[in-house]
Structure 1
Amino acid sequence: MNDIFKRVISRIKRLAVLLLLIPILTAATGYFLALQKPSIYTASSEIFIGNFQNQIKTNPTLMKHYVTKTGFLEEVNEKYQLNLNVPQVKSRFTTHANQQGNILELGYRSPDQQEAEETLRKLTDAISAEGTKLYEDKKELLANQISTIKETDSEYEKVYKEVQLLDKLTTEIDLIKPEILEPVTVKNSQAISPMQSAILGFLLGVILNFFILLLPELFREEKN
């Protein structure tokens, strides 16, 4: 055992420069290889789509398909002057329905961090604005209907009037305005960062050094 230790120490002294260079080179290689991989940025946001008695636009499952349609994207692009490349947006835009919370989760992937953030912010604001407009239209319609019913003054229609008024008031109470629950955030979707890759490369170099130092001893024992 003492002889093995002496031989390993001797080998370390003879190969000191190489043993120092190997972890440095493997770490540098890992770092620069990771830099060569293009970063993909994922922007995400969440919208509570509200309730304004629209079978499509208050249903997350239907909305997740509706907002990714070319027709819808072209419509909001023109209406809100978003200056979007619709075919490109369509290929990078993703949606997910959270049925329990009546929430629409939006995502957008791009190699450009700023483009990912700005594009999804525009889409999030546009989708929210569309829902808010429908909510306000429905609220105004109900207010006008309630006002009309209240102005009706007829004993013959009294019971019918009360039923209608109760129905409209109940509907008005159930209205919920859409809102942006989670503003746009962006994260780097790259599986491993250059620094992490460098650390792994360094550890690989250290392991390789152990093999260089100890492998000759294993072969020596086999020969004996």
Structure 2
Amino acid sequence: MAVNNFMKRIVGRAKKYIVPILALPLVLGLLGYIFPKGNSPSNYKASVTISTGNYGDPLYTKTKEVSVLFKSEPFLKEVFPEMDEEELTDMKDKLLVEIRSDTVFNLSYLGADQKETFTVLEKIRDTFFKKDKNQFLKREQVIDKNIKALKNESVSHDSKVDKQRFLYDLETRKLEMKAAEEIEPLTALDSGGVGMTPKKRAVLGVLIGLALSFFIIVVPEVFREA
């Protein structure tokens, strides 16, 4: 009997407040759809996957060190000399480095405009490749110089075996050397995971409205019953 009375009061309360109960989810859903996400939304994610080089450089051939390099102000200042300190700090927050292995990492950048997001990461990537290539060539030149010097060096008959072994080691090292390379091309797509789309915000608004409507109808009667 008490349950029946409780349900009757719920139904009566629902009828009494039918207009705000129906309007609340609709209004919140509409507000969710049109409500701006913020002053500087990040809707796009540019991404590129890179394999580090193999030439013995302590900075450019180790993914952990490379991840620090990309976040360093001197490197970013070299890429974007026109930016002030505040802009560089904002860029660091939007620049992400995901280490996948000892030799592979993913570099990504979040931005509001697809073309601009792509261009920003493209400049960062190209600057890294340029610096990496310079370091690679320096190491390669050193090995070439050593190979040439060793070939021109006159040695005794007893030392010929050692000379051949050293040459073999140097030439093998040179063959194994490589500069950094792009293994997954640079793309800029809708991030999907950064912020909510208008439709998702509208659905969330409706759900919140339904929850509030439930509280308006049920909670007062629950306290009254108590």
Is TM more than 0.5 here? yes
Letter in 2 for 1:124: R
Mapped to 1, the partners of 2:82 and 2:183 lie a distance apart of 24
| Structure 2 spans left out of the alignment, 5+ residues | none
Instruction: Report the equivalent of 1:54.
Output: 57
**Equivalent residues in 2 for 1:20-99, closer than 5 Å:** 20-36=22-38, 38-41=40-43, 42-75=45-78, 77=79, 85=83, 87=85, 88-89=87-88, 91-93=90-92, 94=95, 96=97, 98=99
Change (3 A) 1:164 1:215: closer
**Partner secondary structure for residue 26 of structure 1:** helix
**Partner secondary structure for residue 20 of structure 1:** helix
1:199 aligns to 2:206 (yes or no): no
Mapped to 1, the partners of 2:213 and 2:144 lie a distance apart of 80
Mapped to 2, the partners of 1:61 and 1:167 lie a distance apart of 28
Identity %: 25
Mapped to 1, the partners of 2:11 and 2:187 lie a distance apart of 54
Shift of 1:28: 1.9
Mapped to 1, the partners of 2:70 and 2:119 lie a distance apart of 17
Mapped to 2, the partners of 1:90 and 1:52 lie a distance apart of 32
Mapped to 1, the partners of 2:31 and 2:66 lie a distance apart of 46
Shift of 1:120: 0.9
Any conservation in 1 of the 2:54–2:179 contact (CA below 8 Å)? yes
Shift of 1:175: 0.9
Letter in 1 for 2:64: T
Shift of 1:178: 1.2
Mapped to 2, the partners of 1:36 and 1:185 lie a distance apart of 25
Mapped to 2, the partners of 1:52 and 1:153 lie a distance apart of 29
TM-score, normalised by the number of residues in structure 1: 0.72
TM-score, normalised by the number of residues in structure 2: 0.71
Q: Greater CA deviation, 168-177 or 151-160?
A: 151-160
Change (3 A) 1:191 1:154: same
Mapped to 1, the partners of 2:110 and 2:22 lie a distance apart of 41
Instruction: Report the equivalent of 1:106.
Output: 107
Any conservation in 1 of the 2:77–2:83 contact (CA below 8 Å)? no
Any conservation in 1 of the 2:41–2:195 contact (CA below 8 Å)? no
TM-align CA RMSD: 3.6
Instruction: Report the equivalent of 1:168.
Output: 170
Change (3 A) 1:176 1:90: farther
**Partner secondary structure for residue 182 of structure 1:** strand
Mapped to 2, the partners of 1:37 and 1:197 lie a distance apart of 17
1:99-158, Cα deviation, whole Å (9 max, x unpaired): 842234434344444323211111112212332343345446545654665566766452
Count, aligned residues: 217
Mapped to 2, the partners of 1:198 and 1:99 lie a distance apart of 36
1:23-42, Cα deviation, whole Å (9 max, x unpaired): 10122233333544641255
